[in-house]
Amino acid sequence: MSAQTSIPPDYFDALYAQDADPWRFASSDYERAKYAATLAALPMARCDAAFEVGCSIGVLTRQLAERCSTLLAVDVAEAALAQARRRCAGLDRVTVQRMRIPGEWPDRQFDLIVLSEVLYYLSPIDVVRTAARTQASLAPGGTVLLVHYTLPMDYPCDGNEASEIFIATSGLAVIRQRREAQYRLDLLQA
């Protein structure tokens, strides 16, 4: 993949056409532990308005929803979104929508923005744009949680690079960081 170009939606469409859960979000012990760590890293028991970028099939979405008055969950792959909608059926506080960031972005403010396993699919310049859009839509005192895989991969950025670019250009304060063998969590605040 070229570092100058973000990965296009058709890449994800092809993945989900071959496998309904290509990263084993619903069945992996690794993912289950990472989701628990993600939720534990949140500084608030509940938030009014949350935005989850890259929701995939909605496994984390369903868990986040329990802590949010409203949750907007977005992804670029319609097959993944269909699964997320089914997984979150009956949760009126959850809206699942197709959106390609950073070009598309909701026009509202959020108390919490979660970017989990998504930034490394973006080119460095799109990570910078995402950081700017995130900062602009974060409510005063709001938090951003970055969760990214850190082992080598063939994407425009690796997890560490994408996270560091985001942190350096977001204008947000880092209030907590956690490093595990395969991923990192970074909690930022407005």
Given a cut of 70, whether residue 3 has pLDDT beyond it is no
Q: Is residue 60 within 8 Å of residue 118, measured between CB atoms?
A: no
pLDDT of residue 109: 98
CB neighbourhood size of 90 (10 A): 5
Given a cut of 60, whether residue 52 has pLDDT beyond it is yes
Model confidence, pTM: 0.96
pLDDT of residue 2: 47
Q: Which tokens sit at 151?
A: 């082992």
Given a cut of 90, whether residue 156 has pLDDT beyond it is yes
Residue 51 CA to residue 61 CA, distance in Å, equals 10
- Average pLDDT, integer, range 154-164: 96
pLDDT of residue 126: 98
- From the options 3.40.50.150, 1.10.10.10, 3.40.220.10, 1.20.140.10, give the CATH code of 9-189: 3.40.50.150
Given a cut of 90, whether residue 107 has pLDDT beyond it is yes
**Domain residue ranges in the chain:** 9-189
Residue 154, classed as helix, strand or coil, is coil
Residue 36 CA to residue 51 CA, distance in Å, equals 18
Q: Which tokens sit at 165?
A: 């670019």
Q: Mention every residue, 6+ apart, whose C-beta is less than 8 A from residue 27.
A: 21
pLDDT of residue 1: 46
- Average pLDDT, integer, range 125-131: 98
Residue 91, classed as helix, strand or coil, is coil
Given a cut of 90, whether residue 78 has pLDDT beyond it is yes
Q: In which residue are the tokens 């396993």 written?
A: 117
Residue 133 CA to residue 138 CA, distance in Å, equals 9
